[in-house]
Amino acid sequence: MEDPGEHLLAIVLDTNLTSVVSSGGDAGAVLDSILAFCNAHLMSSTANLLCLTVAHGRENRVLFPPELDDGQSAQAHYELFSQSSSGIVRQLKAMMEAAPPDPQTSAPMAAGLAMSLCFISRVSRERPPHARLQKRVLIVSGQGTVSAQYMDLMNVFFTAQKLEIQVDACVLGAESGVLQQGADITGGVCVRVPQPRGLLQYLLWAFLPFGEQRQKLALPEPPVVDYRAACFCHRQLVSVGFVCSVCLSIFCKFAPICSTCHTVFKVKGMSLPKPSKRKRPKQGL
């Protein structure tokens, strides 16, 4: 199928692959798969663009397209491939050497995602107005997300929704609720990979096609996206709770005075619980 438009794929990679390693996998193989996937994307069409952002430790760095031209290109290699392979590999190694990933802290995924969105906007602005640029973001993460980045991630997801950029997620470890929500918000696909060895296959199958082709394919969908809110007192997810009508803060137990806005709620006789609506799964936003 002729698709004259350009395709821009932005990959945000979390280098904290400790979950893979601790379960006996090989981080190198994972990185191999990702590299191969990048090359596959670049090979599909000369008009394809790639942006690889790596979230490592406390920084995000754009590894591809490289800022500086190395000048090293192996012979008999497609220039882009050699650039990508050598450049990315070298920088990854340098980063890993300089600052090993701390298992306690999580990489700034939200920031990395925001950076890739900026890259996408820049590229789309540089294009003439009539050019069709299809853009996508793929998040590859080994650990889902940490609650500290929840709000930032949600903000970025909504931004992507406004920009009409689909955010896909490929999760190597445990299922991640946030990434599922993000994929659902932006219209992307979230896949949890049970076997890291077959990662490349997953990537090629689910995340290579673009735009209209995706609608014609049967891609995996998460069963129920967990949109439950967290109560303000314990930060636990609640499905049935109490919402203050003044400040909209959510509580899991009834309290006659809202602790945020100090509104007094009149109670008729016994404290009648006013349960909030259970959030429907996959509800439109």
Q: Which of residues 145-204 bind another protein (CB under 8 A)?
A: 147-151, 154, 173-175, 177-178, 191-192, 194-195, 197-198, 200-202
Which one, of 203, 147, 151, 195, lies nearest residue 173 by Cα?
195
Phi first, then psi: what are they for 238, rounded to 5°?
Answer: -125, 140
Shortest CB 242 distance to another protein, Å: 14
Give the contacts of 1 (CB within 8 A, at least 6 positions apart).
213
Shortest CB 52 distance to another protein, Å: 14
Among 26, 69, 164, 212, binds another protein (CB under 8 A): 26
Task: Assess 113 for contact with another protein (CB under 8 A).
Answer: no
Task: Assess 108 for contact with another protein (CB under 8 A).
Answer: no
Task: Assess 106 for contact with another protein (CB under 8 A).
Answer: no
Q: Which is nearer to another protein, 89 or 163 (CB)?
A: 89
Give the contacts of 261 (CB within 8 A, at least 6 positions apart).
244, 246, 247, 249
Q: Please, are residues 65 and 38 in contact by the beta-carbon 8 Å criterion?
A: no
Q: Which stretch binds another protein (CB under 8 A): 61-69, 131-139, 143-151, 159-167?
A: 143-151
Task: Assess 252 for contact with another protein (CB under 8 A).
Answer: no
Q: Which DSSP string do the residues of 139-157 spell out, in sequence order? A: EEESS---GGGHHHHHHHH
Among 7, 9, 50, 101, binds another protein (CB under 8 A): 101
Give the contacts of 36 (CB within 8 A, at least 6 positions apart).
200
Interacting residues with another protein between 29 and 68 (CB under 8 A): 29, 31-33, 35-36
Q: Which is nearer to another protein, 135 or 192 (CB)?
A: 192
Characterize the bridge pairing of strands 250-251 and 242-243. Answer: antiparallel
